Structure 1
């Protein structure tokens, strides 16, 4: 048996260029229970044989006959002071089986005899795989026990460079499959789960097990080619090696085809295979460990002392020779339930491959009826509490009748009681009827947030009509489209020159009031019912135009029935109306407050854009219920961190975008969980604002939990694959929502309605296909994981990137366009912005962006437009976003200076500004700090990538410097530093 320099290097200490794997990951072990009789050639023969055999192995400190005398390779003997079946004996065996070879590796093999007090003896042999692979370890042990013949070490089998088992990468603690549902912040405890295989389970080789595992992983991960590695068994021409496995599990293939392609791929790539970094790995040790071992009563083989992958699936034999599947993992990587399920699913997929190889991969459903029943139980929350299915306005009229003198709405100096609110809305409802508005007509409402807005919305409902909210800040084209698409004949607005006046009657609330009677006894009669539409809210659409979502009255009443008791909502609460009426969060704020008898504080627009002013309003009005997007709330947290007294809120409701709960830790420092409840809610316009609720505690914040909670009572959830089939807990797919909140339909879009609003074939219930990605946890809670399509969330707004792309492509100069959502700082939501890329004639990207602003709301206008010669594409002809260059700086156009006095030369700036520094210089420093780009005095803040969140950050930075802050209104009106400084000096 020759030993080459390459063989010796295989077991030499690893070089600094590649960090060493844990020692146990490169070692395997074999335990043999020996017969009671001593060896035929004497009791000392095993020790002599071991010294001779080990001395010839590569990597032994002293090879040849001298090795025996140096003690580098010796057979150890331990006396175990208990019987072989005692728990202490089991712990002793386990310790020896798990003890890796010393790092200095005097010899690549170690053997120990354990003599128990009852006369039973175990032989345990531990070897480094680079010296002895599976077959060689068994042959070595057989020789050690006196079996005649020879054995070949790994050194005698050629292996591709870098393919030896020693080349396995160190396990990274962060390498966790999403579907594993481990506890990443818990203890790193090793776990082994075992599934005995039935006696009739088909016999098979390692490649077939790899195919089965790959198909299951493809189902779990929703991909056609999952990342998998395996220990490839030795052949007559090559040694064992760990190699990536080319699993092609696309749905159109059969299992047999996938298995053949895997085998062909392994054969073709054997010489090139290299160290594997897959999270999941397979080891097949499906041979009787006692076979060929003389005098063996039973044997136990451990393919690795330490699993080489974060999740290691092993096909093995137990001590009795029965086949088992093992899953070795950490509690941080998999939960025990998921590990058990993985083994069941691999076993089932393997049986299907063996018995029905013509089964399409897409038809393989490894989860069984037990999983389906468990899912059915989890997807439903508690039943919806009983409530009277009334119209919103009728329910509010009942509150007004019970508490007419209680304050209902506050806005600046205006205070409306419930009685006043109800009477004013009644009068305007009669005025609408006098103008020809009838039941189920749609009425546009385009008003800034004010008490008048609330009165007007309620009046439309009292007239039996449906309100269609529009934001006055939206561009004319969008307003005109909404007016036309919704078929509006009446629009109530204060906006001058409202587009669409040629097809709709445009009135201000004051003009409408002129048609109202002086007195009226309640609202006009109407046959509109609870199941008729209350509102139509337009959301971004992938076709280039927004789509109207029709929501009935009963859905809103159901939402309040589902949440009122849980959130303890009532007449002692004060809410805020913080959001635009065109954003469905306002439905929760307005009607949630008024339907539960609370007091609604309408937040003026500019106050909503100033964290300091908003925080002051919360304290002055003693607000108790606050609804926020996480992006806006982050700046409120900063205000309190800068020293402001805590706001008096008792309930904070998050929605509109994903929440990273770690941002709440400073909030919990000042607002104990016993005093303020924080709830993260997932919701969609098409399912009536909210679907789930998760109370967020400090524990969730520290763990970075992504849970959005259980479905609200009366709502239910399903996570399904692309064919709509339910997926088990932990496996990500598309979120389907059913129950009380599902919208009626999309307005004027029957095809899209048919695609997104479906009927459950099993129950006959309606459900909405959300396009959101998520997964259910074993306890039925949902984790929201973003979007499956081109839709994104930006500062709470739902945006279809394809709508922006469509507007860009309408520009005659643009021949190709792409839009992506980027973050300058990955962990900072305030730096998120939309970046557009175009292939165009010329290079005037500024005019392309300017034109887009005429058709898109401000929050949808790309911050940058970058011209390219061509779009980078993948081999499949799709946009390759990874190859898009960094966005080009915005083409800046100095804003015209307002008619204000020029800045005066002064020896010092405003109060708090260091002597010698002008306010203009301070602003330059702060803008550069916040925006992270060079700034000139005439650069437009918003053209530099600024947004409302970064504008708030400018104010906070000035406040921390001791300077006066810049009001949000001033920044919008004077968006350059020179203008701001001039206005301050004036």
Structure 2
């Protein structure tokens, strides 16, 4: 498919005469295209020097302007202020002239070639697929660069090739293109890539988005771009920076043939160093303290101020401190000594917070064990941590003598252990020091305007690290902490009523839990005291927040999305979310907190270019001490910082990209990517599209099937919660998704739920999602359908085809109106249907036929007509 138009800019000397150029153009046009409307030479003066930005913008604007209908060619001579070279801008319709012919026109107008030396030739000719080494390296380099940015293992590049046996001065023949398909799979080498042969495009196949253009020694190319083929020019011509493509091209020319493609770098040494040093950690105002030391300062400041509310009980700072001291004495009496690990299996309430503080006062380390978790999980966690004592009844710690006075360890010592889910199914304990927590609070204190006037909630389980932020964020800034009873946290209407009653000003939620709270807020009245909402714990899709902003404008209630990891102390980055981000469906999680750093690196620890995806690595004040009793996983995930030899980075396992402005986009878990019919997909991308639907307020996506290696049986299932006022028809949701997603990413089923099931930590609980909603039920035939013939005619084509569909889809009943795609059809199922159809005496069924006649009845009629 030829491009819409070709443009060539030719530099002419200042003394080039307008009349001579005009006469040459008229003479040539009459010779080449007799009887057609002859092009004329237009002359314009640009009131600026040729090298100015004004001149460059004028040239670019002229190059973008298409040729008028009915014309083959437009010629514009641009002259500039002063004695400067002139530019001849030649533009031709893509179907009328090719780029090679346009260069011949330029040679004739400059006087380098006589018009009668050029012979016109109409019609396309077969392409010559031979490719020179320079073009091969350039196409390879472009593929490598784009593959790195897109995370693709295969990249197609269109390469311009001449028409085979083209006469030396042909004018009208269309230039062709070949498709260079680069295999960038792991283990491939430079020699493998450069041995790739281009292929002619398949009939009806769209040309690749990536395309090299024919070389032009008369234009504004540089020494690396000039030649048989070159990179397209213009600010948006390439999806990657051109200088990075050229840097890879030089490496391809100089590297040994057996060099793995993974060793090719997009960034020069200087650029890598600059990227590694980008956004260094901003230091907190003061050195971090121990948690109990920072709390003691708040007790000294305002001993009588309310510190904690649990149900009908409210404790002042002094009372909470006294209760913690009493429990610390009891811990000592039970043999707890500095550095020991203490399990806390207490329900949410004042005693749980006091016990946490007591463990820290005893210079020990607390290990939360949620009583709502299964007993086996609690026991396994306690065994893994090797706790010295598990506290499940604070009464056993009371009435003990005072423990002896002793100095406590430094802020770098451990404060708590929280266990995270592991890919092996075995939770890992993360050991976090005191100073990380106090540094976190100090990092956001001013930005979030945290003060003793704030009222916080402790909504989350103590075994979920979001609770660390809630509890110590409140108590280390002098605020009041409202502990939310477990049952209330599971009833959005009751929780909303608590927020109103307690006049909560700082609220922390996972996006899944906040979606349910926002639904309750529509009917629960206002939240006049709420000024700050912190969202974290899982990726945020901002689109559903528009309804929240209608009731809680941004100037009254700030909403902050925080990306974080247990291993980096709850939060790493922060981004204020406004209506603008919600409309855009932004994935930004903002910039690192003061004292934290973020780097995005490739699998070999090298920085990726700004905007390219890679693994998020976190450094700075929040990096944990490591995994408890797990030296091997600690060494694997907590790695040295190449910039700061004294520091460490945590390899998050999250995919992200660091943008040039310093903000981070979170792209999901690396290990969440799955293969569906040969395509690598990210379920989060499908969920993102579902949430953009105004009829959807919450969504989840699962990928199931494929047991026994049956790739065709892999199925994507979606679950949605309708938006207020929206209907409950899943068909409309799927139809919209089908318009926005490639076929292999369209959910096979969409199940409507009143709410998504959540874990104890407020995150989506995939295990509690119901079985997917049934695919469309077989439609009853209103009349004798082709797919349901008389019983005495079992060999009729319609009956045979119906049997094939039953076998392939595994259903008992099929109706004439059942749709191939609604039944979960895909390209692999189409191949199976076509094969079985031929085996059973029917004409083959092409995939295109299934697009045209997707229902069983329509397909039967089409095949009957062929038979």
TM bracket, shorter-chain basis? 0.7 to 0.9
Cα distance between partner residues in 2 of 1:560 and 1:401? 19
Cα distance between partner residues in 2 of 1:150 and 1:426? 101
Given that 1:833 and 1:945 are in contact with CA atoms closer than 8 Å, whether structure 2 keeps it comes out as no
Q: CA deviation at 1:435?
A: 1.9
Whether 1:220 aligns to 2:156 is no
Cα distance between partner residues in 2 of 1:523 and 1:396? 21
Give the match's secondary structure for 2:632: helix
- More displaced, 703-712 or 42-51? 42-51
The equivalent of 1:478 in structure 2 is 377
Q: Give CA-to-partner distance per residue, 1:288-316, whole Å, 9 cap, x none.
A: 33xxxxxxxxxx489xxxxxxxxxx9976
Q: CA deviation at 1:100?
A: 2.1
Cα distance between partner residues in 1 of 2:727 and 2:404? 57
Given that 1:29 and 1:301 are in contact with CA atoms closer than 8 Å, whether structure 2 keeps it comes out as no
Task: Output aligned runs, 1:162-561, within 5 Å.
Answer: 205-236=134-165, 240-250=175-185, 252-261=187-196, 264=197, 266=198, 269-270=199-200, 272=202, 275-276=205-206, 278-286=208-216, 288-289=217-218, 300=219, 327-330=233-236, 342-356=241-255, 358=257, 359-390=259-290, 392-493=291-392, 508-513=393-398, 515-517=399-401, 520=402, 525=406, 527-561=408-442
Cα distance between partner residues in 2 of 1:368 and 1:461? 48
Q: Say which of 49, 53, 76 aligns to 2:32.
A: 53
Change (3 A) 1:301 1:655: closer
Pairwise CA RMSD: 4.3
Cα distance between partner residues in 1 of 2:87 and 2:607? 49
Q: Say which of 483, 494, 497 aligns to 1:613.
A: 494
Change (3 A) 1:774 1:81: closer
Q: Say which of 128, 134, 158 aligns to 2:125.
A: 158
The equivalent of 2:648 in structure 1 is 766
Q: CA deviation at 1:668?
A: 3.1
Q: CA deviation at 1:674?
A: 3.2
Given that 2:125 and 2:164 are in contact with CA atoms closer than 8 Å, whether structure 1 keeps it comes out as no
The equivalent of 1:808 in structure 2 is none
Cα distance between partner residues in 2 of 1:49 and 1:100? 22
Change (3 A) 1:872 1:99: same
Given that 2:496 and 2:524 are in contact with CA atoms closer than 8 Å, whether structure 1 keeps it comes out as no
Task: Output aligned runs, 1:589-604, within 5 Å.
Answer: 589-604=470-485
Change (3 A) 1:530 1:207: same
Q: CA deviation at 1:570?
A: 2.1
The equivalent of 1:166 in structure 2 is none
Given that 1:243 and 1:273 are in contact with CA atoms closer than 8 Å, whether structure 2 keeps it comes out as no
Whether 1:102 aligns to 2:37 is no
The equivalent of 1:780 in structure 2 is 662
Whether 1:147 aligns to 2:114 is yes
Cα distance between partner residues in 1 of 2:346 and 2:56? 77
The equivalent of 2:849 in structure 1 is none
Change (3 A) 1:628 1:108: same
Q: CA deviation at 1:489?
A: 3.9
Q: Give CA-to-partner distance per residue, 1:244-288, whole Å, 9 cap, x none.
A: 321233464443442222xx2x1xx226376545443322324x3
Q: Structure 2-normalised TM-score? A: 0.73
Cα distance between partner residues in 1 of 2:297 and 2:55? 77
Unmatched segments (≥5 aa) in structure 1: 1-9, 11-20, 56-66, 164-202, 290-299, 303-312, 494-507, 793-800, 802-818, 838-867, 874-881, 890-924, 934-943, 953-971, 973-986
- More displaced, 426-435 or 346-355? 346-355
Change (3 A) 1:243 1:652: farther
Q: CA deviation at 1:458?
A: 1.7
Change (3 A) 1:512 1:116: closer
Change (3 A) 1:234 1:478: same
Q: CA deviation at 1:772?
A: 0.7
Give the match's secondary structure for 1:669: helix
Cα distance between partner residues in 1 of 2:47 and 2:397? 97
Q: CA deviation at 1:773?
A: 0.7
Given that 1:537 and 1:584 are in contact with CA atoms closer than 8 Å, whether structure 2 keeps it comes out as yes
Whether 1:624 aligns to 2:505 is yes
Q: CA deviation at 1:753?
A: 1.0
Unmatched segments (≥5 aa) in structure 2: 167-172, 676-681, 733-749, 759-767, 769-867
Given that 2:24 and 2:108 are in contact with CA atoms closer than 8 Å, whether structure 1 keeps it comes out as no
Q: CA deviation at 1:135?
A: 2.7
Given that 2:531 and 2:558 are in contact with CA atoms closer than 8 Å, whether structure 1 keeps it comes out as yes
Whether 1:737 aligns to 2:618 is yes
Whether 1:633 aligns to 2:524 is no
Q: Give CA-to-partner distance per residue, 1:851-871, whole Å, 9 cap, x none.
A: xxxxxxxxxxxxxxxxx7624
Change (3 A) 1:133 1:568: same
Change (3 A) 1:435 1:532: same
Q: CA deviation at 1:26?
A: 3.4
Q: CA deviation at 1:243?
A: 4.2
Change (3 A) 1:931 1:398: farther
The equivalent of 2:817 in structure 1 is none
Change (3 A) 1:826 1:724: same
Given that 2:8 and 2:90 are in contact with CA atoms closer than 8 Å, whether structure 1 keeps it comes out as yes
Give the match's secondary structure for 1:635: helix
Q: Give CA-to-partner distance per residue, 1:84-120, whole Å, 9 cap, x none.
A: 97899988876655442334x3x54455678999999
Give the match's secondary structure for 2:715: coil
Cα distance between partner residues in 2 of 1:636 and 1:656? 16
Given that 2:266 and 2:609 are in contact with CA atoms closer than 8 Å, whether structure 1 keeps it comes out as no
Given that 1:624 and 1:650 are in contact with CA atoms closer than 8 Å, whether structure 2 keeps it comes out as yes
Give the match's secondary structure for 2:4: helix
Cα distance between partner residues in 1 of 2:298 and 2:455? 15
Q: Give CA-to-partner distance per residue, 1:209-238, whole Å, 9 cap, x none.
A: 112222222333333323433433445369
Change (3 A) 1:31 1:833: closer
Give the match's secondary structure for 2:122: helix
Change (3 A) 1:151 1:588: same
Cα distance between partner residues in 2 of 1:656 and 1:150? 72
Cα distance between partner residues in 2 of 1:661 and 1:406? 37
Q: Say which of 666, 678, 683 aligns to 2:559.
A: 678
Change (3 A) 1:869 1:457: closer
Q: Which has the higher contact order (CA 8 A, sep 6+)?
A: 1
Whether 1:884 aligns to 2:714 is yes
Q: Give CA-to-partner distance per residue, 1:491-524, whole Å, 9 cap, x none.
A: 222xxxxxxxxxxxxxx223433x535xx4x886
Change (3 A) 1:275 1:205: farther
Given that 2:298 and 2:476 are in contact with CA atoms closer than 8 Å, whether structure 1 keeps it comes out as yes
